Amino acid sequence: MSNHKRPAASILFIFGGSGDLNYRKLSPALYNLFLDDYMPEKFAIAGIGRSQYNNEDYRAHLLDGISKFSRRKDEQNGHWDQFSQHVTYLQMDADNQAAYSKITDYVKEKEAEWGEHPNVIFYLAVAPQLVPSIAQKLGALNLCTDKNCTRIVIEKPFGHDLQSAHDLNALLGRLFSEEQIYRIDHYLGKETVQNILALRFANALFEPVWNRNYIDHVQITASETVGLEDRAQYYEKSGALRDMVQNHILQVLCMVAMEAPVSFDANEVRNKKVDVLNAMRPFTKGEVHENAVRGQYSSGWIKGKEVPGYREEKGVAKESATETYAAVKFHIDNWRWQGVPFYVRTGKHLHQKATNITLQFRPAPHFAFPSESAETWRPNRLTISITPEMDIRIRFQAKRPGQAMTLEPVDMVFNFDHQYGDDHAPEAYETLLLDVMEGDATLFMRADQVEAAWKLIMPILETWENRTPVDFPNYAPDSWGPEDADAMIARDGHAWINLSK
Ligand code: BG6
């Protein structure tokens, strides 16, 4: 038995209980928390859905998901029976207000059984268009006036644009107080993403050089090898900019660029992050062309397998203008970052699944070595890899062994797996679900952050929507994206950094 503190008694109601997110991510995460002794001593999980299941079938369905998607597929023995006793299925029509009495009855039942009022968490793992109506019906329950114990968790996408995000925030704000609302961005739950804060603010070494005086530019890459994966209904209306840049990438950028928080209070950290978004330079529509590039994959080959082009995927329009790749050059107008471009890119069907952040330092101010000693001389670089490796590496010049003074770049690496073994890292959803049960909102997006991020990307979205792309498809699967993205960064004398080929 471990001795860490566990959250108070909690009931989790999962709307979309028979859906994919619960099957692949939430149930495995909750089960792993249970295996690690992080679940409250008293807890209940109630999946809510329209489909017919009895408890036994529902539990079997979740176990199937766990055996396929959990990070510890083989550790179910013995513990599953215990865990599954906490899982129930409530079949209900979420459109019908009267059906919500099932929820209140269930809470009362557990209260009587446990002899205490638990945290009540509503996790909306449903299609975005269902969120307002479910939130409204939940808001009508007395239960939701309890600011301390009742919480609502909203998945992305949070709105479709600035206006819809604003409307959703306004609606939720009428029904719940901001402390009760947990807007999930699963990137913020990733170990290495959280480690950005540790690297920056738990060490005296890095902060002094973490600014425009030493850093030349920053790159953030979130490339994927997967394509559309049967998600046309969602993705056709989304595209890469909404799907990845508006949320995950901008959140990561905020962690790289934020000022030091005074404390790790949820609002203090989020204040510092929103300051970054507010300092980011919005594009005029005329500037979008030179600062943002979109792409769409063609048909082609990946690892010997033929794959269809985006426009040939099931459910995609023949002339679809949806981008499956986006690259943007951002600027942050503040003292720390003035003049330092932040290049970000993301795309489907690219050469490698890789998420990383690179800070490229300025060249050494004077070069005293003979030129032949330094043919491979490169400026310093600090890279934080989130996938596939979890590591932090610093590149610097070293002398090659031998009689000649030959310099070459070498890496100093901190690798999570080497340091802690490869079963150390909780999945992002484990961290985030535990935080919700504990009532810690630090890693969740606040209303103003979401809107600030939308505001920033609106000119790009609007410009792209008003101008039909003439060159789509413009990149091949297994490549690093469209040539225009290379040209965009090359205009500044830089190149995208692809960590491994
Ligand atoms: C999701 C996007 O939010 O993040 C997906 O909707 C994307 O399109 C996924 O594939 C990437 O997450 P990860 O954790 O695999 O980098």
Kindly report the backbone phi and psi dihedral angles of residue 114, in degrees, each rounded to the nearest multiple of 5, phi listed first. Answer: -90, -15
Nearest CA to ligand 1 atom 8: 243
**C-alpha closest to that of 182 among 161, 200, 158, 160:** 158
* 162-175 vs 447-466: helix crossing angle, rounded to 10: 150
Whole-number pLDDT of residue 74? 66
- Ligand 1 atom with minimal separation from the 428 CA: 14
Residue 391 annotated as binding site: no
Ligand 1 within 6 A of CB of 355? yes
Q: Give the tens place of pLDDT for each residue, 192-225.
A: 899 999 999 999 999 999 999 999 999 999 999 9
Whole-number pLDDT of residue 422? 73
Nearest CA to ligand 1 atom 4: 244
C-alpha dihedral (232, 220, 272, 205), degrees to nearest 10: 150
Cα separations (Å) of 174 from 78, 113, 426?
45, 32, 34
Residue 69 CA to ligand 1 center (angstroms) comes to 15
Whole-number pLDDT of residue 2? 56
Whole-number pLDDT of residue 369? 85
Express the helix, strand and coil content of the chain in percent, nearest 5 each: 40, 20, 40
- What is the identity of the amino acid at 280? M
Q: Do 221 and 346 meet the contact criterion of CB atoms below 8 Å apart?
A: yes
Concatenated DSSP letters of 444-483: SB-HHHHHHHHHHHHHHHHHHHHS--SS-S-B-TTB-S-H
Residue 353 annotated as binding site: yes
What the block records as the tokens of 32 is 């792993």
Kindly report the backbone phi and psi dihedral angles of residue 404, in degrees, each rounded to the nearest multiple of 5, phi listed first. Answer: -85, 150
- What is the identity of the amino acid at 345? R
Nearest CA to ligand 1 atom 6: 243
Residue ranges of the chain with per-residue pLDDT less than 70: 1-3, 74-77, 423-424, 500-501
Ligand 1 within 6 A of CB of 224? yes
Residue 355 CA to ligand 1 center (angstroms) comes to 11
- Ligand 1 atom with minimal separation from the 156 CA: 3
Q: Give the tens place of pLDDT for each residue, 148-179.
A: 999 999 999 999 999 999 999 999 999 999 99
Best residue for ligand 1 mutational test, from 224, 234, 356, 427 (most atoms within 8 Å of Cβ): 224
Whole-number pLDDT of residue 412? 96
Structural domains for the chain: 10-155 (3.40.50.720), 191-364+445-490 (3.30.360.10)
Q: Which phi-psi region, left, alpha or beta, contains residue 168 (left: φ > 0; alpha: ψ -120 to 50)?
A: alpha
Helix H or strand E encompassing 89: strand 87-91
Residue 190 CA to ligand 1 center (angstroms) comes to 12
Active-site annotation holder among 86, 248, 349, 351: 248
Best residue for ligand 1 mutational test, from 186, 188, 350 (most atoms within 8 Å of Cβ): 186
Q: Give the tens place of pLDDT for each residue, 236-266.
A: 999 999 999 999 999 999 999 999 999 988 8
Range 210-213 contact pairs with CB under 8 angstroms and sequence separation of 24 or more: 210/336, 210/359, 211/336, 211/337, 212/335, 212/336, 212/337, 212/338, 212/339, 212/340, 213/362
Whole-number pLDDT of residue 377? 80
Nearest CA to ligand 1 atom 14: 187
User: How many residues are given for the chain?
Assistant: 501
Residue 287 annotated as binding site: no
Ligand 1 within 6 A of CB of 380? no
Residue 5 CA to ligand 1 center (angstroms) comes to 31
Residue 386 CA to ligand 1 center (angstroms) comes to 13
Whole-number pLDDT of residue 75? 63
* 162-175 vs 131-139: helix crossing angle, rounded to 10: 20
Residue 6 annotated as binding site: no
Residue 108 annotated as binding site: no
User: Coil, helix or strand for 127?
Assistant: coil
Residue 103 CA to ligand 1 center (angstroms) comes to 31
Residue 455 annotated as binding site: no
Kindly give, in sequence order, each residue whose CB lies less than 8 Å from that of residue 492, ignoring residues fewer than 6 positions away: 217, 329, 341
Whole-number pLDDT of residue 292? 98
Q: Do 497 and 358 meet the contact criterion of CB atoms below 8 Å apart?
A: yes
> pTM here?
0.94
Nearest CA to ligand 1 atom 5: 243
**In 142-186, which ranges are continuous DSSP H helix?**
162-175
Q: Is 117 considered catalytic here?
A: no
Nearest CA to ligand 1 atom 15: 224
